[in-house]
Structure 1
Amino acid sequence: MRSIPLTFCAAAVVAATLVSAPAALADSESGSDPTGSGSGSRTTLSVTPPSAAPGGEVALRLDACEGKEAKGNSDVFASESRFSPAADGGLYAKARISSDASPGDHDIQIVCTDAKGTKASGRVTVTDRDQATPLAPVRAGGGGTAVRTAKEAHQDGPGTVQAVIGLALAAVAAGAVVFRRARRRRQAED
């Protein structure tokens, strides 16, 4: 009986191990050392979200760059991205996807302003503009119940109907307790 939950847990662990991270991560290249083995840490670029529609915006985060600034380019960016220090370390920039960007995967190239000219690369996916994406939660429900529920959620408290039902249920519960005690007393006397 316990083998089924154990099997599902093991499958979940294997799936989590094999699935790549949602953000696009890239390894760095140093200007003088393309393997990056000369420095103790590797520069990584993360793109959040990893895909955007034309006209959308993505956040770029660069870790382990020794400089205080960096510049990023892509053929789908509306303009060059300029990185600045983030509050928690690393460098941060935002990039707007050009309104005429073609759908598909596009490379991003980053150059740090450190002494080595450290480079990093990443990838962003441009989605088709005609692809339907929800902009807000859909108010769906059986026959308009979502709209009705939204209106009822703004009430200040229980109404008269709820108060009467609550009192009736409390009376039934009290009656059941009294009836049960009386029955036990009769059984104890017999």
Structure 2
Amino acid sequence: MGSLRLTLCTGLLAACALTPAAHAADGSGGGVSVTPSSPAPGADIALRVTGCSARTATAASTAFVADVQLAGADGTLAGDSRVRASAQPGSYEVKISCAEFVIQSKITVVSQSEQSQQSESRPQSESHQPSQSQSHSQTSALSDTPASPVAPVHAGGGGTAHFASVDVRGAGPGTGQAVTGLVLAGVAAAAVALLSARRGRGRD
């Protein structure tokens, strides 16, 4: 009996030693986004973390001037920080401590010249869009153009369905159709009466 207890205790201790702690998980289910993605020394940044069910978390990195306090709800936390002015260009580890796990990510710090080049290389969507004056002149030109006559559409396309619905709602039966209906109804009534009379005579 003593050997059985010793075996059970040894098994429990081995299971506890092999089971990892919950807070040691790397939190692969979470996500981290940094804006701008490649900041320069002294630049302000915004952190956004997803996958954390807690309302608060802390982000720490040697690239930051201080730890970032993140707050939010519904699994999304956000906070602001600043890159140290003395930070050298390179990759820095970011560790977000959430309630259930720790999310590990990285941030890339670039030099001021590289950040300026990235800003200049971004496509300027405004340059491809017409200005307000050009749009106004085009609209004026279209409004000054005389309208050409257009023949009514009699079949096909979406116009057919539209006009058909109008005709069905507004048009009723004609006079000739009404007279024909009354005549047919009278003939049917006479035939029913004659058939009933014949059946009554046959029974007598």
Q: Which structure has the larger Rg over C-alpha atoms?
A: 2
**TM-score, length-normalised on structure 1?**
0.49
Select the structure that is richer in helix.
2
Q: Which is bigger in relative contact order (C-alpha 8 A, separation at least 6)?
A: 1
